[in-house]
Amino acid sequence: MEVMKCDFCHKNPAIYLLEIKDEKGIRKYSLCGECLHEYIGRLFQIAFSQDKEEKRCPNCGRTWKKIEETGMVGCYYCYSVFKDELGEIIKNYHGNKKHKGKIPKNVSKKEDILKY
């Protein structure tokens, strides 16, 4: 049985499967431990860069610039990556960083909401 080689370095045996989901679909890579470690390190550098223009969500790849242009985040993880930037926008829009909904008119007490 032949050992599968790493798709990045083509030297070491592949022991991890990396799946990347983006606009092009799902891409799969078989990686050795060294290449996986290096790849994850690069993702964190990109995601937590101090420059908002370069900051990128490691899950979907959306940048802060793209969020500003479209007004839409790319995925649920964007809320964590861009929490400081989004927090200010939410605060300016709602007057608070947390969205507070209204109580429906047909509910007499707050406790009635908890029943559902």
CA dist list (Å): 32 to 2, 26, 107: 15, 19, 58
* Domain segments of the chain as ranges: 16-104
Residues 6+ apart with CB under 8 A from 39: 8, 18, 31
Contact predicate 80/59, CB 8 Å: no
The residue type found at 18 is L
pTM over 0.85: no
- Supply the pLDDT for residue 12: 93
Sign of the dihedral defined by the CA atoms of residues 71, 53, 20, 79, in that order: negative
Stretches where the chain sits below pLDDT 50 are 111-116
Average of per-residue pLDDT values in the chain: 76
The pair of three-digit structure tokens given for residue 27, joined into one six-digit string? 């891409």
